[in-house]
A and B are shown apart, each in its own frame.
Chain A
Amino acid sequence: MSGAILSQLLLGLINGSFYALLSLGLALIFGLMKIVNFAHGVLYALGAFAAWLLLDKAGLGYGWALVLAPLAVGGLSAVIEITLIRRLRHLDPLYGLLLTFGLAILIQELLRMKYGNSGQPYPVPGFLRGADDLGFMFLPRYRAWVITVSVVVCTAVWLIIEKTRLGSTVRAAAENPRLLEAFGVAVPRLMTATYAFGGALAAFAGVLAAPIYRVSPLMGSDLIIVVFAVVAVGGMGSIGGSILTGFALGIAEGFTKVFYPQASTTVIFVIMALVLLVRPRGLFGRAA
């Protein structure tokens, strides 16, 4: 039995990796720009599609996709920020939400019209194929890779935000953009960069997901709702909080699948409701 629990813990961590990577980007964007980025899920799907297109049309494999897909989607995000989101900065945050919601549906539908819903196959890269017997479970190498990579990436981003000069500039822009501008920092450019970086992170998660899940237009909207719950539980705008909550909720979901599988899609929202009742600003959120 302890073996079964250990294996569910590990499986939960794998799902948590995706939650963490996505909610990290969301929290970054929200912290700095006060925009609830509903397009995040579709940027994740675009990352997976970019990986598939690179393989299918250009013959470029997984390694290339890990680099090129985030770059491409990051570029697209920058364009979206400059041409659309920037115009809404001085309006009620609701407008940003509506805009990104619309963008999400638009891009998702375009993908669906072109490729259908069932998804495209993406093979597990050769050097990560196979699985290792851990005694209590059979762990596919690719899943081990997903955990490792996302822990490394999440930690790196957290360190950059908390410990470097660039990070403190970003945090300052989140606190008081006007003052920072007075010091001569180009805040609009910083915002574009942040949005692009958040998009690139989402695309990176998309590439990681491609060999596991279907590369399908709906893959983003299936996940984004959970990710929003993660961000709400962790505390809107808290970087470290969203990473930890991502992994923790992944594990909670994993355990539910053992004890009461029918509820596995609901459990995260139950936790969210409880947390918001007790601590409305989230586990790691600071008071406004």
Chain B
Amino acid sequence: MIRRIAVLGLIGAVALACNKRESEGDKSGGEAAKGSGKSTPAPEGATPSAGAAAIRIGVLTDLSGLYSDLAGEGSVEAAKMAVEEVGGKIGGRPIEVVSADHRNKPDVGSAVARRWLENEGVDVIVDVPTSSVALAVNEIVRNQNKVFIASGPAAADLTGKACSPNTVHWTYDTWALANGTGREVVRSGGKTWFFITADYAFGQALERDVTAVVVENGGKVLGSVRHPLNNTDFSSFLMQAQASKADVIGMANAGGDTVNAIKQASEFGLGKGGQKLAGLLVFLSDVHALGLDVAGGLMLTSSFYWDRDDATRAWSKKFGERREGRMPTMVQAGVYAGVRHYLKAVAEVGDEKDGAKVVAAMKRIPTDDPLFGKGTIDPNGRKRHPMYLYQVKTPAESKGPWDYYKLVREIPADQAFQDPAKSGCPLVTGPSGK
């Protein structure tokens, strides 16, 4: 009897291990299937079989895990806002938004992407935080000749060796982060580095790009430790970082991982021993979760902050009203702006079925939106706009809810992202290139 229950319990525990997100994922997947009716602003957006006429936007994101606050339902809402702005239709054809949870797993994300593109008439996939999932989706979209607008993922490989004529990488990437926060920290005296890195495509890409900047500026990397994605306890990694005696401890992770790591670093007094903490990717939602007591003083690089100017404030206010007052992150802003620009290109091309053609039009038409201003898209698919180096305000400096950042300086668009000729993208250097 006891043995039987023990075995049952173990099976259950394993089920829970895989399942605590899967159960939610299935649910969201189901929602996505029936979401067409609910989320369609145009009343005639009837059934998926009427998809021949409808333009379908699939928001593939983390709806339940550690990245769900920086992307998640906020990204779905942002896409809907972009669709509503054009009246929910282009040339009489309705635009539908569907969504699904990829649970930060490449296999799950690939399965949804395939189902969407092959069977459910989805024309464009947007967002996809978690670089490992995004790289998988990138290939599927290329093979199906649809469109991928990446806002959530960071790996610069999406416009480097994995670049695709069907992909636009909108919001930010690891190269930009390295040249924002990374360069600034080296410049202000942080010569030796130790990394605490999330052990998957994104963390490794970020560590690689920051290492390049550190070395180029005469600094040195003393070591790194790789932790599993979605880690709770960082104390032992922090100990190793502390023991390395490096000037700077670089957090090459994101979302919930960064929040836990920074929170615990402050508990262990890491900042006080002369060592400096560098959050290499910090989102507004992370700062919110950390609180200004802990996060105050952190430097971070972002392409968007809600309180930057009148246009961003106006849009963010609208967004907040739909999201219980939560202000948008740069990923969510990127989803909105990316979808908006995509719809512009579709309106011009008149045919959303040929993905490469739509992306070519997106690159041809200059971008212009209230959140990122005027910009361009490089031949490798890299969206180019200024990046901003911010410092998190201390509790005394903050004047109200969500008043978190002060501007250190603007990194102009031409310096914010990598020169496409050096990206290693075959679209730029030609297939015979290095």
Which listed residue (B3, B227, B268) contacts A281, Cβ 8 A? B3
Contact A254 B236 (CB under 8 A): yes
Chain A residue nearest to B70 (CB atoms) is: A118
A280 at interface by CB-CB < 8 Å: yes
Stretch of B140-148, B177-185, B258-266 with 4 or more beta carbons under 8 angstroms from chain A: B258-266
User: Which of A138, A213, A221 interacts with B16 by CB under 8 Å?
Assistant: A221
Contact A232 B2, beta carbon cutoff 8 Å: no
Enumerate chain A residues within 8 angstroms of B228, measured Cβ to Cβ: 262, 264-265
Say how far B194's CB is from chain A's closest CB, in angstroms: 13
* Interface contact B259-A118, CB-CB below 8 Å: yes
Q: How far is the CB of A146 from chain B (nearest CB, A)?
A: 11
Asked if residues A118 and B255 are in contact (CB atoms below 8 Å), the reply is yes
Contact of B267 among A12, A212, A225, A272 (CB under 8 A): A212
A34 and B5 within 8 A (CB): yes
Contact A225 B260 (CB under 8 A): no
Asked if B242 contacts A101 (CB within 8 A), the reply is: no
The contact of A123 among B235, B264, B268, B293, by CB within 8 Å, is: B293
Residues of B within 8 A of A30 (CB): 5
Q: Taking CB as reference atom, which chain B residue is nearest A112?
A: B64
Closest to A222 in B: B232
Instruction: Tell me if A116 is interfacial: C-beta within 8 Å of chain B.
Output: yes
Judged by a CB distance under 8 angstroms, whether A247 is at the interface is no
Q: Identify which of residues 216-268 in chain B touch chain A, using a CB-to-CB cut-off of 8 Å.
A: 225-228, 230-233, 235-237, 239-240, 242-243, 255-256, 259-260, 263-264, 267-268
Residues in A103-146 with C-beta less than 8 Å from chain B: 104-105, 108-109, 112, 116-121, 123-124, 130-131, 137-138, 140, 142-143
Instruction: Name the A residues within 8 Å of B259 (CB-CB).
Output: 118-119, 214
Assess whether A15 is in contact with B233, with CB atoms less than 8 Å apart: yes
The B interface is mostly helix, strand or loop, or mixed, namely helix
Number of interface residues of B (CB under 8 A): 59
Is the C-beta of B174 less than 8 angstroms from some C-beta in chain A? no
For A262, the chain B residues whose CB sits under 8 A away are 199, 226-228
Q: How far is the CB of B313 from chain A (nearest CB, A)?
A: 22
Please indicate which of the listed interface residues B12, B239, B289 has the most CB atoms of chain A within 10 Å of its own CB. Answer: B239
Interface contact B267-A11, CB-CB below 8 Å: no
A171 within 8 A of B: no
Given known pairs A7-B239, A124-B267, A212-B267, the reply for A261 and B226 (CB within 8 Å) is yes
Asked if A78 is an interface residue, CB under 8 A from chain B, the answer is no
Contacts of A4 in B (CB 8 A): 239-240, 243
Contact, CB under 8 Å: B293 / A121: yes
Q: Flag whether B192 is at the interface (Cβ < 8 A).
A: no
Per-residue contact bits, chain A 140-155, to B (CB 8 Å; 1 contact, 0 not): 1011000000000000
Partner of A285, one of B2, B237, B239, B264: B2
Interface pair A142/B69, CB less than 8 Å apart: no
- What's the least CB distance linking B3 to chain A, in Å? 6
- Interface residue from B6, B13, B256, B273 paired with A118 (Cβ < 8 Å): B256
Give chain B's interface residues, CB within 8 Å of chain A: 1-6, 8-10, 12-14, 16-17, 20, 23-24, 64-66, 68-70, 72, 199, 225-228, 230-233, 235-237, 239-240, 242-243, 255-256, 259-260, 263-264, 267-269, 273, 285-286, 288-291, 293-294, 326
Ordered by A's residue number, 5 sampled pairs between the chains whose C-beta atoms are within 8 Å are A36-B5, A118-B255, A118-B286, A121-B294, A258-B240
Interface residues of A (CB under 8 A from B): 4, 7-8, 11-12, 14-15, 30, 34, 36, 38, 93-94, 97, 101, 104-105, 108-109, 112, 116-121, 123-124, 130-131, 137-138, 140, 142-143, 211-214, 216, 218-219, 221-225, 228-229, 231-232, 236-237, 254, 257-258, 261-262, 264-265, 272, 276, 280-282, 285, 288
